[in-house]
Amino acid sequence: MKSMTKEYFRKYHYRDAEAARTYDDRKFGSPSLARYNRSTQKALDRALRLLPDGSRVLDIPCGTGRWTEFVIRKRMEYVGGDISLEMMQVCLEKYAGIRKAFDLVQLDGTALPFPDKTFDAVLSFKFLSLLPQEIRLEVLREFRRVTRRYLIAQSQHLRTFCPWRALKLLFAHVFGIEWRTKKYRTRAELLPQIESVGFRTVARIRIVRSFLDVLWPFDLEYLAVLEVRDENESR
C-alpha cells in the first residue's frame, strides 16, 4: 500500500462516497465560507465576460459541480472533469433537473481524453498548487493542448505581496520550517510556471471577500486569466 503522502491523500480521498456527500457542507456550509464562495463567483463572472455565448468550457477538477449551473446560466457549454466518480455523482444528483445541459467525464489531468483545442477555456480552482511540480507541468501542458483561448486559474495568493506573510516566511527560514517555505515558494512559482508552457497573463481579478480587503490591499486571492500565446510570439 502507498504511503499516505499529502499528494496521495488529495488524489484518492474524494473517491470515498461519504467524503463526496459531505464536501459541500464542509467547504461552503458556514456563512463565512458561503460569502467567500460568492466573492469567487463574482470574480469568475468577470473572467467569463471575455468569452462569447456558446463557448465550450472545461472545469477540472469539477468536484461536486461548484460552477456547473453558473457556467450554464452564462449560456456556455459546460464539461466537468474529475478523477472521482463519487464527487461527480453528487453533481449529477444536485443538478438532475438540468442533466441534459452538461457533460461529466472521469479523467486524469495528465492525460485529458479530448482532441487538441476542444475548449474555449479551461477553469481550474485551487488545484495546480497542490500538485508536485513534475505532475503540475504535465497537467499544464494538457490544459494548453485542449484550450483554444484561455486558462482561468485560482490558487491562493498567486504572486501577491503581503507584509505579514513575508514575516512568516522569514520566521520559517530562520527556524527551518520547510513545509511553510515550500508552500510559499510553490505559490510564487506557479504563475511563471503556467506561462512557461505557452500562456500569457492578461488579467488578475481580485477576490474581494470584505471591506477589509479594500482597506488592506495585501494577502489577496485572485483569479489569473491566461491566454494561449501564439507559437510565433516571443516570450
- Span 35-84, pLDDT tens digits: 989 999 999 999 999 999 999 999 999 999 999 999 999 999 999 999 99
CA–CA dist 43, 52 (Å, integer): 17
Strands 147-154 and 221-228 turn out to be: antiparallel
CB 100 within 8 A of CB 84: no
Buried b (16+ CB within 10 A) or exposed e, 183-210: bbebbeebbebbbebbbebeebbbbbbe
CA distance 115 to 94: 29
Domains observed in the chain: 6-228 (3.40.50.150)
186-207, pLDDT tens digit by residue?
Answer: 666 788 899 999 999 999 888 8
Residue 202 phi, psi (nearest 5) = -115, -15
Task: For residues 152 and 41, give the distance between their C-alpha atoms in angstroms, rounded to a whole number.
Answer: 12
